[in-house]
Amino acid sequence: MTKVLIVESPAKAKTVSKYLDDKYKVLASVGHIRDLPKSNKKAIDIDGGFVPHYEIKTEKKKVIAEMKKAVKGAEEVLLATDPDREGEAIAWHIKETLGLEKPKRVVFNEVTKEAIQKAVENPREIDNRLKEAQEARRVLDRLFGYDLSGLIWKKVRYGLSAGRVQSPALRIVMEREREIRVFRPENYWVITARTRTEDKKELILVCAEEPKTKERAEEILKKAEKGEWQIKKTEEKEVKRSPQPPFKTSTLQQRASSLLGFSPSRTMRAAQKLYEKGFITYMRTDSLNMAEGARQKILENIEKNFGKDYAEKRVFRTTSKNAQEAHEAIRPTEAKMKKNLKSEDERKLYELIWRRTTASQMKDARLLRTKVIAGAGETPEFVASGSRTIFDGWLKASPESKGEDVELPKTKAGEKLGLQSIESKKKETKPPSRYTEAGLIKELEKRGIGRPSTYAAIMRTLGERGYVGKEGKTLIPTDTGDVVSSFLEEHFKKYISDNFTAEMENELDEIAEGKREYVKTLGDFYKDFRKEVVAKEKTEKLTNLGEAPEEFSCPKCKKSMIIKLGRSGKFLSCSDFPECHGARTIEGKELKESEPLGKDPETKLNVYVLEGPYGPYVQLGEKEKGKKPKRAGIPNEKEPKDVTLAEALKYLSLPRKLGEHPETGETISAGIGRFGPYVVHQKDFRSLKEDSPYDITFEKALQIVSEPKKRRGFRPKTKEKKGGAV
């Protein structure tokens, strides 16, 4: 009889199978095999105690069938999914789906022969507390996102979304953006003097005072040009630079972003592959601990390659109170660096991890820092700073951290200097910097928002939702992100605050520790949250996303205007909408009135391009009491600002009456609807595949509506879309 060991990925299965004998059959679940259905009504039984109802993923039916076949009659079944809450949940889903009574749970932090064999020899049961903590997070995120997203659809614009951790991250980006918007730059002058020492060495000095006015800068320049320059003081001080601890998930993502230009998602993809191949330890961790055996091998490798003078045992402790997994830091599984990795991303990331881990067990670098203070008579102090390396220590393994040595010429107090030139440059104070992905991850971790497994997903979601764009490494909120965040900050401030989000993370951690109950935690949250959502659903004022500046009154009725969000971004709408359709579009800081494109030659009515809650549209004539003007949507591929009068009239020509059916006498028309172009007769809609509704002939339309309609039950089967991870 065989033993079956189940891991998550095929790559990991391939690596693990090399370290086990022929008695073991290693299979992969390929991630989660069950998920919550998309419909919230089916997904969670709230009244029954927040019970999730899982469905088997369509694409996993074949995998499940293979696993069922393998475990049938097996001597032993071992579940070796990843060593975190997500992995614990996957193991539980496999157990439930395959109907396993007492499978063994094995956990290893690195895919090496020693670690795998040790794990197999020391199995345990599935940890229900870890599984419940993962389930609580999943259910909580679904309840939060589903309810708030539905409200945003109604009150802001269809298709937008909110998330329990994603929304606080967006709020942090927007808070910084508002600081930048209100920032007012101030002038200052930087004064630089080029001098020569008595032994003819160049010494560049910078004025310690940065004048705020041109007059003060010129005053300093005059005194500097007339005065006698000399060294006032020379300071030399030896300082130490200690190595940083080995990587955890957040610091790996930050360093890979700043040094390699990798996005968090790209970093985690490469790290996942390195882990599955057995090159590094598990990559989702907030621990700085390192196994003693691994540390000893690293020290031996340092002594062998760099010398005994470089090795120093260091033990780093995890300081974060939120650290929830008993993992190690991210480190290479072997002390000696592996070479010739085929993937460039994997090679670069592996080398980064190896250098950081090795450096963490090396001696301090010693630097000599020099500061020279000089002046000329009554001038403010002028300063020059430099440093040089005395002993490189850990920098030998991590040269990218070294920086350049800037050595100053030898000087002494009272030494005369010769002024070669002096100049002042006008500069402006800079606003706070926008976040990069690395900076935002650091800020989230500092505030206790998110966990190692969520940082990459947060960054990815902000981009995919169109809430944040990127210029190089810089994150810039879009109009849509601005509006969504402003809406949530105004109406759900508590639920996207730092304190609430961090405290919720702590409560989820306490479920994993057995200190808090699943049902009570979710119940305490959802009771108040749902009450606030329902209350806001009844508040019509939520459709207003802010008042427009006073100087922008309605171009038609002169009343005040409000900010709304359409498909093309923010726009200003008359506060008396829908009675008055006055509107202005916003393009950066420039505002344009919604003037008519021209007149329809037949009706002599004005034609407008307007923005509505479902996107931009064209309108024929003005809105009159009891009479709705004719309107038509603008195609998605067309920018509203580029629509011409001829195009607008073309859009307004639909639906077209083509003629009367010879048998029924009813009209056949052509138009464009939710599902694309069509022809219709007696409410029988037929899609147009090749013909355009603008020029299809009556004869062709009659032929289409006369053909037998295809029965829906006989449509060819197609694969269902893949569901997301639980």
- Read off the CATH number of the domain in which 289 is found: 1.10.290.10
Mean pLDDT of 128-133: 94
Same domain assignment for residues 463 and 529: yes
Assess whether 297 and 273 both reside in one domain. Answer: yes
Measured CA angle at 539 (ends 143, 159), to 5 deg: 50
Q: What is the pLDDT of residue 674?
A: 61
User: Per the domain annotation, does 629 fall within a domain?
Assistant: yes
**Domain end call among 359, 387, 405:** 359
Across the range 682-704, mean pLDDT stands at 88
| 701 touches 668 (CB < 8 A) | yes
Q: Which of 341, 359, 377 is the last residue of a domain?
A: 359
Integer Cα distance of 587 and 107 in angstroms: 55
Domain assignment present for residue 410? The answer is yes
Q: Is residue 291 part of a domain?
A: yes
| Structure confidence at residue 717 (pLDDT) | 40
pLDDT at res. 712: 42
Give me 649's structure tokens. 């009239």
Q: Tell me if residue 651 is catalytic.
A: no
Q: Please tell me whether residues 73 and 218 are part of one structural domain.
A: no
Is 10 within a domain? Answer: yes
Q: Specify whether 285 is located in the same domain as 340.
A: yes
Strand partners, 670: 656, 679
CATH (domain of 219)? 2.70.20.10
Q: pLDDT tens-digit profile of 15-58? A: 999 999 989 999 999 999 999 988 767 899 999 999 999 999 98
Q: Compute the distance between CA of residue 18 and CA of residue 188 in angstroms, rounded to an integer.
A: 66
112-116, 340-344, 549-553, 645-649: segment of lowest average pLDDT: 549-553
Residues 147 and 15 occupy one common structural domain: no
Residue 617's contacts (CB-CB under 8 Å, 6 or more residues apart) are 609, 610, 611, 631, 632, 633, 634
Tens of pLDDT, residue by residue over 313-354, are 999 987 655 454 457 999 999 999 998 898 999 999 999 999
Residue 81 forms part of a structural domain: yes
- Could you give the CA distance from residue 549 to residue 129 in angstroms, rounded to a whole number? 53
Q: Name the residue range of residue 692's domain.
A: 656-714
- Beta pairing, strands 590-593 & 44-45: unpaired
Q: Which of 54, 275, 282, 455 is catalytic?
A: 282
Residues 258 and 341 in one domain: yes
Give the separation between CA 70 and CA 74, rounded to whole angstroms: 7
The sign of the dihedral angle between the CA atoms of 429, 432, 435, 439 is: positive
The answer on 286 and 177 residing in a single domain is: no
Residue 265 sits in the same domain as residue 333: yes
pTM for the model stands at 0.74
The verdict on 191 and 322 lying in the same domain is no
371 and 228 inside one domain: yes
- The per-residue pLDDT for 72 is 92
Task: Give the pLDDT score at 115.
Answer: 93
In the predicted structure, residue 459 carries a pLDDT above the cut 50: yes
- Same domain, yes or no, for 211 and 145? no
- Give a yes or no: residue 725 inside a domain: no
Assess whether 72 and 27 both reside in one domain.
yes
Which of 513, 541, 569 lies at the terminal end of a domain, its last residue? 541
In a domain, residue 723? The reply is no
Q: Are 481 and 174 in contact (CB under 8 A)?
A: yes
Cβ(48)–Cβ(96) below 8 Å: no
For residues 328 and 714, give the distance between their C-alpha atoms in angstroms, rounded to a whole number. Answer: 55
Neighbours of 295 (CB within 10 A): 20
Indicate if the pLDDT at residue 572 is higher than 50. Answer: yes
In a domain, 556, yes or no: no
- Residue 176 is part of a domain; what is its CATH number? 1.10.460.10
Domain count, the chain: 6
pLDDT for 638: 77
Cα separation, 575 vs 132, whole angstroms: 49
- CA gap 711, 266 in Å, rounded: 46
- The partner residues of 39 in beta bridges, in order of sequence, read none
